[in-house]
Amino acid sequence: MADTKLWTRIAVALAAVGTLALAVGCPPSKPKGSKRPAGASDIAVAAEKTYVPPGDLDEYYMFSSGGHSGQVFVYGIPSMRHITTIPVFAPYSGTGYGFDDETKAMLGNLTWGDVHHPALSETGGDYDGRWLFVNEMNGRVARIDLRDFKTRQIFGPVPNISGNHGSTFITPNSEYVLMSSRFSIPIPKGKAVSIDRYASEYKGVAAGLKIDPKTGQMSLGWQVLLPPFDWDLGDAGKKLSEGWFFLTCYNSERATGKLEVTASQRDRDYIAAIDWRLAEKSAAEGKGELIGGVKVLDPKTIPGLVYLMPCGKSPHGVDVSPDGKYVVGSGKLQGVTTAFNFEKVLTAIKNKDFAGDEDGIPVLKYESIKDAEVPVGLGPLHTQFGPDGMAYTSLFVDSALAKWKLGTWEVLDKVPMSYSTGHLAAAEGDTVSPDGKWLVGLNKLSHGRHLSVGPSQPESSQLVDISGDKMKLVYDAFTEPEPHYAQIIKADKLKPIEVYPKEENKHPLAIWDVKDAGVTRKGNEVLAKVVVVRSSMTPSLIEVNEGDTVKVALTNIEQTTDELHGFGLLDYNINIVLDPGETKTVTFKADKPGVFPYYCTNFCSALHQEMQGYLVVKPK
């Protein structure tokens, strides 16, 4: 009996402890903040808004930077379907990019690039659909022609520019592509100076590359010498601020070593305002010094060329409002984003309302030029715009987007993002007339919101509907590494061709008739002119001698859309893809004797498999 009583007591005690535990509470399995009703959108509405039925087309193109993949990704909005990849700075065997003579020469010795900020060409501050410019960190800028979605020029590495992160930003009438040095070095390149003399001997540089208004071809313009801060991101002024170029920096401490700490000491760094029209004029007048083959202008000797706007703290993005009046800088180590009034900037310049200088460059008084510090949230990075004065700022630390209004500076809404948004892109959201409607958060982390693919996880791009008062997250897309910035343009502004018209093909080795195909020899140089068409390659036999230099000139004589053909030559690492009406050449040394099949790689027709031939390399 005593046993029974003991057991009863133990049971009662346990029950009491359990009840107490329930009453006090135990750690939740999820953060309480994970219930985010503001971001959850009605599933059916979201599905209907983003669903583009088979055969239907998207409303917008999104050109997304591919980061260190070196490429540009093209998406359709609102479906968020990845439509194609435009290879730019890295070989891409899918389209044979970097294998034929022309693209191989364009890539040069650099077969990677870290693409950051695509910029669509503009007319009157609005996208005109002609070209897309993209930068990469090695100091190059590429131009993609939107007539055929092909990379047509890779310019650089530009002299003196080191770590071209702050690029490409384009002036409102596509006069210049702007770029800058994130990692200051002694210039010209090749000069080695002790890091101890960083503060005085290392130089920051901003550059304007001239764009030919007809062809889009870039050439060296002018450069502006800047203090050795880490020049980070920029935007070209428009309308009210047209003629100016804004550029943020961190490390105005001029620190070296562990920048994480040493460059985060000051409460404010700067946004540089550069009068690029004056730079253009000064360079034309012969001012400046030739360094590394470029006219470099020193603001010390050209008054009015550069002013520094103090901006807290370690600012990242700077974005100019559609009317050009506000310059919005986001201090990434702050909880606010700062709106500068450019009218006040001009007044302060006129009144010489300065708070000091950096290497002879006047520093404007913060209080005189600032209109508001908007409490958007933690870790603000970039701002995009909608119609009616709406502004949207990405919050990296908060992992959210904030919506606020220019002028009233009210924060109107927030939507959580998954996770850690870097850039954001709104439909035509950096032009003089933003569309609103859609906003894409380009997130750095996806943290397994997708089917698991192992440790190497993709990034995420999330579509947000901004047509109503409240922002609504409507779609998750996963992207290859690594989208930084993107441009979203109304689809009807682009009118791409789908075949290269025969009459436009001026390639000296183009042939259009199998009668002209064949192999000719000059010494030990062999030229094979090949006609490629469904479903044969003519000639189907190319005979050369070991040691010959072989040039194969291929013409796809098709004029039908989507009739691409490939030329894969086994064991020689040759992979060419020809669009309809295109001629490409590939030159190689026949250094391996033997018989090597070549074949069509791009499935073209029912008799695609039969589209093949042989390269015979006779041994010495």
Partner 1 sequence: MKRLLERSHALLTAPVGATPRVLALVAALLIVPTYVAPLWNLTMFAPQYGDGLRLDIYSYKLEGGNHGQDLKEINLLNHYIGMHDLAEEDFREFKWMPFVLGGLALVFLRAAVMGRVLDLLDSLVVFSYVGLFSLWSFGYKLYSYGHDLAPGAPVKIPPFMPPMIGGAQLANFEVYSYPGLGSYALFAVGFALAAALLLGVRASLRRPAAAPVARGGP
Minimum distance between the CB of residue 148 and partner 1, rounded to whole angstroms?
Answer: 17
Residue placing its CB nearer to partner 1 in the complex, 327 or 604: 604
Minimum distance between the CB of residue 53 and partner 1, rounded to whole angstroms?
Answer: 15
Residue placing its CB nearer to partner 1 in the complex, 93 or 536: 536
Query: Is residue 57 involved in binding partner 1 (CB under 8 A)?
Result: no
Q: Which stretch binds partner 1 (CB under 8 A): 8-16, 222-230, 387-395, 527-535?
A: 527-535
CA 238 to chain centre: 21
Query: Is residue 467 involved in binding partner 1 (CB under 8 A)?
Result: no
Residue placing its CB nearer to partner 1 in the complex, 42 or 610: 610
Residue 124, SS3 per DSSP: coil
Minimum distance between the CB of residue 535 and partner 1, rounded to whole angstroms?
Answer: 8
How many C-alpha atoms does 149 have within 13 Å on its Cβ side? 21
C-beta of residue 135 within 8 angstroms of C-beta of residue 179: yes
Residues of span 405-434 touching partner 1 by CB under 8 A? none
Minimum distance between the CB of residue 568 and partner 1, rounded to whole angstroms?
Answer: 22
C-beta of residue 451 within 8 angstroms of C-beta of residue 436: no
- 487-526 footprint of partner 1 as x/- string (CB under 8 A): ----------------------------------------
Give the pair of three-digit tokens for residue 135: 């930068």
SS3 of the chain: helix, strand, coil, percent, to 5: 15, 45, 45
Query: Is residue 610 involved in binding partner 1 (CB under 8 A)?
Result: yes
Residue placing its CB nearer to partner 1 in the complex, 42 or 562: 562
Residue placing its CB nearer to partner 1 in the complex, 489 or 533: 533
Residue placing its CB nearer to partner 1 in the complex, 111 or 560: 560
Give the pair of three-digit tokens for residue 7: 């057991």
Tokens 């007048």 identify what position? 285
CA distance 322 to 385: 7
C-beta of residue 580 within 8 angstroms of C-beta of residue 595: no
Query: Is residue 534 involved in binding partner 1 (CB under 8 A)?
Result: yes
Minimum distance between the CB of residue 517 and partner 1, rounded to whole angstroms?
Answer: 17
Minimum distance between the CB of residue 563 and partner 1, rounded to whole angstroms?
Answer: 9
Residues of span 548-577 touching partner 1 by CB under 8 A? 558-560
Tell me how many degrees the CA angle 63-67-70 measures, rounded to the nearest 5: 90
Report how many residues bind partner 1 under the rule CB under 8 A.
9
Q: Which stretch binds partner 1 (CB under 8 A): 18-26, 80-88, 380-388, 529-537?
A: 529-537
Beta pairing, strands 218-226 & 536-538: unpaired
Minimum distance between the CB of residue 607 and partner 1, rounded to whole angstroms?
Answer: 6
Residue 453 to residues 81, 334, 444, 600, Cα–Cα distance (Å): 19, 35, 16, 32
Q: What's the longest Cα–Cα distance across the chain?
A: 114
Give the pair of three-digit tokens for residue 158: 């530009």
Q: Over 25-77, what HEC string results?
A: CCCCCCCHHHCCCCCCCCHHHHHHHHCCCCCCCCCEEEEEECECCCEEEEEEE
C-beta of residue 218 within 8 angstroms of C-beta of residue 209: yes
Q: Which stretch binds partner 1 (CB under 8 A): 42-50, 406-414, 468-476, 530-538?
A: 530-538
Residue placing its CB nearer to partner 1 in the complex, 181 or 556: 556
281 phi and psi angles, rounded to 5 deg: -65, -45
109 phi and psi angles, rounded to 5 deg: -85, -10
Residue placing its CB nearer to partner 1 in the complex, 261 or 606: 606
* Among positions 106, 533, 550, 569, the unique one binding partner 1 when judged by CB under 8 A: 533
Residues of span 320-359 touching partner 1 by CB under 8 A? none
Residues of span 579-608 touching partner 1 by CB under 8 A? 606-607
Residue placing its CB nearer to partner 1 in the complex, 587 or 605: 605
Using CB under 8 A, list all residues that contact partner 1.
Answer: 533-535, 558-560, 606-607, 610
